Structure 1
Amino acid sequence: MGTLTSILVLSFLIFFHELGHFLAARFFGVHVEVFSIGFGKKVFSKVVGNTQYCLSLIPLGGYVQMKGQDDMDPTKVSYDQDSYNTKAPWKRIIILFAGPFANFLLAFLLFIAVGSMGVNKYAPIIGKISENSPAFEAGIQENDRIVMINGVLIEAWEDVSTHIQESVGKLELKIERAGSVQTLIITPKINEYQNMFGEIKQKKMIGIAPSGKMIEVSYSADKVIGFAYDQTIKATTLILTSLQKLVEGVVSPKELGGIISIVQVTSEASEAGIVALFALTALISVNLGVLNLLPIPALDGGHIMFNAYELITKKAPSERVLTSMTTAGWLLLLSLMALSIFNDIYRLTNGN
């Protein structure tokens, strides 16, 4: 059941991505010849208007085939009025960007649903306290609940971290202990820590850790939009940072995951409940949007790069450049896909 859910999630994400391209293309009068969910042999097709809508055998992908545009052969063009390549470069850029934008929009809508249904977060209850830390010296004790920092109410542990990092000078903490509220003054210290990429960084700390107790936080209608926006931005930033660390060599290529990892993680999320599944689907949707905007020929970002060049220079790249760069882009993508699948199989066979 989990595997089926994973395939449905991926198919839905791809459909939404391609729908973005489709709607933008139709808006600018470009004829869409084929709208396919999946690759390979067509198992179902129906012509509506002048567009063939189909489901193909391999559901892990999809495409919108526009008149005058072919990813496999960039030299195939059409000069009819309803052709993609006869449209102004800025219109083509919008058509290309519409796919990734649809993924960001979908993630935003999913995060609205997640925020409305309730998010599990660490409660602002103190667990471990480091010896000789500012918190230890101020008299903070285990199981104290942080109620307020510098006059701002605290709902979850992440709010504690945020206020500590944004603080200037001393912190005024109101804590609840044994039914009474006490006020403590604490001055954070700069300490080293290891981030998720294994790098040693510095940040303000007071020497406390969460107890591990969880609470469910639901957002009202006036706050859920802000929550969804923040989560979409955080997810985008995380993916961009991960790509940067991969290029810099901080993250090993062995950490790359492919379709097997996505199916596995999505299956586990579906078993954890609808909120977890929606949150993971939103993250994958953002990932799909970001990756498609990379300036790699054969991806949306690569096509945007070519059209931006034409928009600036007033001339299109030569067929030789288009062909060679597109071929190089496909080779790079196929190599990354092969590496990610190899990593997936290696992790599975080694029990990791």
Structure 2
Amino acid sequence: MLVVVGIVIFFLGLLFSIAWHELGHLAAAKLFGIKVTQYMVGFGRTIWSRRKGDTEYGLKLIPFGGYIRMIGMFPPKKDEKYGRTASSAPWRAMIEDARQMSAEEVAPEDAHRQFYQRSPWKRIIVMVAGPVMNLILAVSIFTAILMGHGLNTPTLTVSSVSACVLPATAPDTEHCPPDALPSPAAAAGFRPGDRIVEFNGRHYGSWEELQLAIRGSAGTVPVVVERDGQRVTLQATLMQTDRPKLDSPREFEKVGFLGLTPTTELVKQDFAGVARTIGGFVTLTAQKVIELPERVPDLVDAIFGGERHQDSPVGIVGASRLGGEVLASDGVGVDDRIMMMFNLLAGVNLSLFVFNMLPVLPLDGGHIAGALWESIRRRFARLVRRPDPGPFDTARLMPLAYAVSLVFIAYSLLVLVADIVNPVTLF
């Protein structure tokens, strides 16, 4: 029951994120006098709607996105008011059809309220307002959690000591086979509860700094620990072994290995800590978005019974299922479950921000790129005293937009199938 409740709650949170995104577009468009005919959450058949002023607000049957419809997205063809030019080229037909459909939405009394007529900077604000709303929501959630609840931060106190050395790819890391070598930490006499004071003659202020020092060391090094109020010097002989890279867990490198796991504690962050943490989240999210094409083989493999990694892409179904898993998890306090669900929701909003800023149509970033190019062209024309080239005709990019849309749809279906047959699990 908790899984179902968690799925429903998280799914509603995702729908709110979509509606929040489109609200940004809507508010900016109305601010600049652009007529918005529809504000919809979902796609397909309308299941509920209500008209207020010029705009129809509603919910659609397929809740996998949303949109607002603004009139005049494409400028008319030069030297031609509206109309379709006959051509045997399929891409030309796409362009003219898109331009004609855009023109048909414009009533004579609304001719001055079209999107393309607004200056480039206004169009950029309209298109960037949606992703920025997701960024605002993500930053607000992360800030509330980091400053109010705290961040699980590893300390210099030992939580557990690895009994033996196992390959990083070993399926069972809980039990040591008879022929396994003892870990350097176990051989040196480390115990849970030891607080590391010095490593190889140096003091380290955080576990992250100490971890880098361990990975970069070899041979026998002295380690000073505080145990039961007394300082004890241990001699640890580090070994070189293959371990996942810190910034890329799927790649391995040969590093120094000791065999310690630190304890963690909740540390409330200040504004500087929040800025650093969120900056790291944004960088990591951008990296994962760029890596999406590389994940196709893994997704196909997962569909046919292969391993589904925890950092695998997920869609609305997979993300909602993770929400249900978090809410129903055993051994985790209610507060921690709630924080984890909000963290997941903030992560989704951060992904929506980064993804929508990609400079390709039909994403918001594609329209932003078009408006920027138009601004550059007009400034250059003024500089060299040439006639104003006019609005950039984004309709010419519709064949590319259709191709990109097909790729997105295919990728989304691939992720959907993987989320159903082999979902990502956190625990």
Matched, 1:142 2:191: yes
Structure 1 segment 53-92 matched on structure 2, within 5 A? 53-69=57-73, 74-75=98-99, 76-77=102-103, 80-92=111-123
Question: Could you list the runs of 5+ residues in structure 2 that have no partner in the other structure?
Answer: 75-93, 166-180, 301-311, 330-336, 379-388
| Inter-CA distance 173–28: structure 2 relative to 1 (3 Å threshold) | farther
Counterpart code for 1:91: K
251, 273, 283: which is aligned to 1:199? 251
Post-superposition shift, 1:8?
A: 0.4
Residue in structure 1 matching 2:401, options 318, 326, 330: 326
**Separation in structure 2 between the aligned mates of residue 114 and residue 197 of structure 1, nearest angstrom:** 26
Alpha carbons 1:111, 1:232 under 8 Å: kept: yes
Q: Distance in 2 between matches of 1:162 and 1:103?
A: 34
SS in 2 for 1:298: coil
1:261 aligns with 2:318: yes
> Aligned equivalents of 2:326 and 2:192: distance in 1?
30
TM-score by length of 1: 0.78
The structural deviation recorded for 1:332 is: 1.5
Overall identity of the aligned pairs, in %: 28
Q: CA deviation at 1:12?
A: 1.2
Letter in 1 for 2:261: P
Report the AA paired with residue 258 of structure 1: G
What SS does structure 2 have at the residue aligned with 1:176? Answer: strand
Query: Structure 1 residues 36 and 247, CA, compared in 2 at 3 Å: closer, same or farther?
Result: closer
1:50 maps to what in 2? 54
Q: Out of 322, 342, 349, which is 1:278 matched to?
A: 342
1: CA distance, partners of 2:117 / 2:223: 63
In the other structure, the counterpart of 1:128 is 162
Letter in 2 for 1:143: P
2:15 corresponds to which residue? 11
Q: Offset at 1:280? A: 0.7
The unaligned stretches of length 5 or more in structure 1 are none
Shift of 1:119: 4.0
Matches of 1:96 and 1:165 in 2, distance apart?
45
Could you tell me which amino acid in structure 2 is paired with residue 42 of structure 1? T
Instruction: Say whether the 8 Å CA contact 1:292–1:300 is kept in structure 2.
Output: yes
C-alpha offsets along residues 71-112 of structure 1, whole Å, 9 cap, x if unaligned?
A: x97521558333221111222122212211221221111112
Q: Which has the larger radius of gyration?
A: 2
Aligned to 1:346: 421
Q: 1:58 to 1:184 in 2, by over 3 A?
A: same
Shift of the alpha carbon at 1:258? 2.9
Tell me if 1:238 matches 2:293. no
Q: Given the two structures, how large is their TM-score scaled by the length of structure 2? A: 0.66
Residue of structure 1 in register with 2:271 after alignment: 225
For residue 259 of structure 2, the aligned residue among 204, 208, 225 is: 208
| Number of matched pairs | 336
Give the conservation status (yes or no) of the 8 Å contact 1:232–1:286: no
Q: Distance in 2 between matches of 1:36 and 1:80?
A: 23
